[in-house]
């Protein structure tokens, strides 16, 4: 069995706490790795390495920083297959999906390569006689990132490339459930020329996170994970005087109007609900179908759901892999088992699935629940598995009220051919990311990603311009070069221009 430690100061560091967590191959159910769980002391060592590295990196020229990021981008491009294989081995998602994850993460590295343009300051000349004003942005110092299991490479890449490009140094605490991809990203960064200590990885759990949140040398924290933890991370980080962005969970609704192309809508519902076994924060977990087309739409989704091929992520013919752990699989299955008693029609029940040759893997078939009641557990909770709920609504207004009544506001989508309805929806729906005939509207790298309501705690979204704002602080410099002939004289009044 492999043992994975930390990456501190540009080299591996064995775990010294004596505590380890299990990492499984979800397709076989076997433990493949034990990951070190950092003590507060080990977190301190990583922060100290980052602080030391900041002395140089924080003032490194833009061309030096971007040269390293370009090299990193090239290296990631060459190693996509390897990183994707690491993701599949510990997360379970199918290889093509893992490759997509790497590509979406690389978008942020590409954005970071262009940081020189984004960090251009502003200059106003002659705001008063011989007075100029310049606005610049500077790095924060040491910043930390805490990431979830479901995108073990992409979500770390939402954070550290931009943070580094802006001149910060970074301590990453990846999910302890699938930590190897993030660790590899740090090794590759070193290979690309990122100086020692600029990017550190501490593996661990709550102990490590709590220390990062309390550490006086950590200036800011980016978090992505579930809503209860995101909420507490924000509260805790603010209490320690830190800048924080904490992205939480979701329950994303896809509204299908009667004029939509129902085959197109059914295909997209399937892809967005069951891709990555539903373990995506932008998964569609609720289809809101207008009554007049609901029967037809449910039939089309069900027919497709029954045909999905489920197997290990390494099998090129598999469309969906296993769930992350046995406990999570049981929890997801319990929503399907309890659905009928709470009023839903169980149209497809995937809970009995067994994959031949992989009987001990954490597999669960896909399930489709129709006529789900908004007061039922399946509707109210983020299930985070391959379970799609359908709620029926009589009108657009009823559907909109349902969506806007959700405590979450991550992503949402409308499927329609009616531009006017789509436009209304864009403006009226309460969510941070909206798709029009696009079921998973994850913004490209040069826009920013973030939800509303219980899907994001903090002000700034992640990556894009918001990401750059998050990892920098503004400074405004007012300059006068006095004319020797004009001393200005004494004037105790508040300066006016």
Annotated catalytic sites, by residue? Answer: 281
Using alpha carbons, list the distances in angstroms from residue 140 to 148, 166, 468: 24, 9, 11
* Cα distance between residue 69 and residue 157, in whole Å: 12
Tell which residue, 160, 171, 182, 176, has the closest CA to residue 65.
160
Closest distance between ligand NAD and the C-beta of residue 462, in Å?
A: 7
- Choose, by CB under 6 A, the member of 250, 288, 355, 460 that binds ligand NAD: 250
Q: Tell me which of 27, 153, 199, 224 binds ligand NAD, using CB under 6 A.
A: 224
Size of the site for ligand NAD (CB under 6 A): 27
- Give me 453's structure tokens: 């309501």
* 382 counts as binding ligand NAD under rule CB under 6 A: yes
Using CB under 6 A as the binding rule, whether residue 249 contacts ligand NAD is answered as yes
Instruction: Name the segment binding ligand NAD (CB under 6 A); options: 63-71, 248-256, 363-371, 465-473.
Output: 248-256
Report whether 194 contacts 221 (CB < 8 A).
no
Residue 157's nearest CA partner among 95, 107, 98 is 107
Out of 164, 201, 247, 369, the residue judged to bind ligand NAD by CB under 6 A: 247
Return phi, psi of residue 377, to 5°.
-60, -40
Min CB(313)–ligand NAD separation in Å: 18
Q: Is the Cβ of residue 167 or residue 249 nearer to ligand NAD in the bound state?
A: 249
User: Which two tokens mark 266?
Assistant: 């059914």
Tell me which H or E stretch contains 128: strand 122-128
Binding to ligand NAD (CB under 6 A): which residues in 274-313?
A: 281
- Decide if residue 323 touches ligand NAD (CB under 6 A): no
Site string for ligand NAD, 118-147 (x = CB under 6 A): ----------------------------xx
Among 57, 384, 396, 415, binds ligand NAD (CB under 6 A): 384
User: Smallest distance from the beta carbon of 377 to ligand NAD, in angstroms?
Assistant: 16
Under 8 Å between Cβ of 186 and 4: no
What are the residues whose beta carbons fall under 8 Å from the beta carbon of 61, sequence distance 6 or more? none
Instruction: Please state the separation of Cα 243 from the chain's center in Å.
Output: 18
Q: Which range touches ligand NAD (CB under 6 A), out of 100-108, 189-197, 244-252, 373-381?
A: 244-252
Six-digit token string for 307: 């045909």
In the set 39, 150, 276, 448, which binds ligand NAD (CB under 6 A)?
150
Q: Are 90 and 183 in contact, with CB atoms under 8 Å apart?
A: no
- CA–CA dist 272, 411 (Å, integer): 11
By CB under 6 A, residue 157 contacts ligand NAD: no
Closest residue to ligand NAD in the complex (CB): 225
> Rounded to the nearest whole angstrom, what is the least distance from the CB of residue 432 to ligand NAD in the complex?
9
| Residues ≥6 apart with Cβ < 8 Å to 265 | 254, 256, 297, 300, 415
Q: Does 330 bind ligand NAD (CB under 6 A)?
A: no
| Binder of ligand NAD out of 64, 130, 206, 239 (CB under 6 A) | 206
Q: How far is the CB of 79 from ligand NAD (least distance, A)?
A: 23
| Residues 424-483 close enough to bind ligand NAD by CB under 6 A | 451, 455
239 interacts with ligand NAD by CB under 6 A: no
Q: Quick one: which of 106, 97, 179, 167 has its CA closest to 138?
A: 167
DSSP character at residue 341: G
Would you mind telling me the total number of residues written for the chain in this entry?
Answer: 497
The least distance separating ligand NAD from the CB of residue 293, rounded to whole angstroms, comes to: 29
Long-range own/partner contacts, residues 127-132 (CB < 8 A, 24 or more apart):
127/478, 127/497, 128/480, 128/497, 130/480, 130/481, 130/482, 130/483, 131/478, 131/479, 131/480, 131/497, 132/478, 132/479, 132/480
CA-nearest of 101, 496, 57 to 275 is: 101
- 444: tokens are 């490209």
Site string for ligand NAD, 7-46 (x = CB under 6 A): ----------------------------------------
Which whole-number Å values give the CA distances from 8 to 14, 47, 164, 173, 207, in the listed order? Answer: 10, 9, 16, 12, 17
Rule CB under 6 A: say whether 97 interacts with ligand NAD.
no
Q: Which is nearer to ligand NAD, 175 or 472 (CB)?
A: 175
Q: Which of 24, 57, 72, 149 binds ligand NAD (CB under 6 A)?
A: 149
Binding site for ligand NAD (CB under 6 A): 146-151, 155, 173, 175-176, 205-206, 209, 224-226, 229, 247-250, 281, 382, 384, 410, 451, 455
């Amino acid at each position: 069995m492999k043992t994975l430690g930390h990456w501190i100061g540009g080299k591996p560091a064995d775990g010294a706490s004596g505590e380890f967590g299990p990492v499984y191959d979800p397709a076989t159910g076997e433990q493949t790795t034990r990951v070190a769980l950092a003590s507060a002391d080990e977190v301190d060592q990583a922060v100290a390495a980052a602080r030391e590295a900041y002395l140089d990196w924080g003032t490194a020229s833009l061309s030096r920083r971007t040269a390293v990021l370009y090299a990193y981008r090239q290296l990631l491009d060459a190693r996509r297959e390897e990183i994707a294989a690491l993701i599949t081995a510990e997360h379970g998602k199918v290889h093509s999906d893992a490759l997509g994850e790497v590509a979406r993460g690389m978008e942020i590295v590409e954005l970071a390569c262009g940081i020189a343009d984004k960090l251009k300051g502003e200059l106003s000349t002659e705001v008063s006689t011989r007075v100029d004003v310049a606005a610049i942005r500077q790095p924060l110092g040491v910043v930390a990132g805490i990431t979830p299991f479901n995108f073990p490479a992409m979500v770390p890449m939402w954070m550290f490339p931009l943070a580094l490009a802006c001149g910060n140094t970074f301590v990453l605490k990846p999910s302890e459930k699938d930590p190897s991809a993030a660790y590899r990203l740090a090794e590759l960064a070193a290979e690309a020329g990122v100086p020692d200590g600029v990017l550190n990885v501490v593996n661990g759990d709550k102990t490590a996170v709590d220390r990062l949140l309390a550490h006086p040398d950590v200036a800011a924290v980016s978090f992505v994970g579930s809503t209860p933890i995101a909420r507490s991370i924000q509260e805790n980080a603010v209490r320690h005087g830190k800048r924080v962005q904490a992205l939480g969970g979701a329950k994303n609704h896809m509204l299908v109007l009667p004029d939509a192309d129902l085959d197109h809508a059914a295909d997209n519902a399937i892809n967005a609900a069951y891709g990555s076994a539903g373990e995506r924060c932008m998964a569609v977990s609720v289809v809101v179908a207008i009554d007049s087309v609901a029967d037809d739409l449910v039939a089309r989704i069900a027919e497709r759901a029954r045909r999905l091929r489920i197997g290990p992520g390494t099998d090129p013919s598999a469309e969906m892999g296993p769930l992350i752990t046995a406990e999570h699989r049981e929890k997801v299955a319990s929503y399907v088992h309890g659905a009928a008693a709470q009023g839903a029609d169980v149209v497809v029940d995937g809970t009995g699935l067994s994959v031949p040759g992989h009987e001990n893997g954490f597999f669960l078939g896909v399930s489709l629940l129709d006529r789900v009641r908004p007061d039922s557990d399946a509707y109210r909770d983020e299930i985070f598995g391959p379970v799609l709920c359908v709620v029926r609504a009589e009108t657009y207004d009823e559907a909109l009220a349902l969506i806007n009544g959700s405590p979450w506001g991550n992503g949402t989508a409308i499927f329609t051919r009616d531009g006017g309805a789509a436009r209304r929806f864009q403006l009226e729906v309460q969510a941070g990311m909206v798709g029009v005939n696009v079921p998973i509207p994850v913004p490209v790298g040069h826009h920013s990603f973030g939800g509303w309501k219980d899907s994001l705690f903090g002000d700034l979204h992640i990556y894009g311009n918001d990401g750059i704002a998050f990892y920098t602080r503004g400074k405004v410099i007012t300059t006068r070069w006095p004319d020797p002939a004009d001393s200005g004289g004494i004037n105790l009044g508040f300066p006016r221009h």
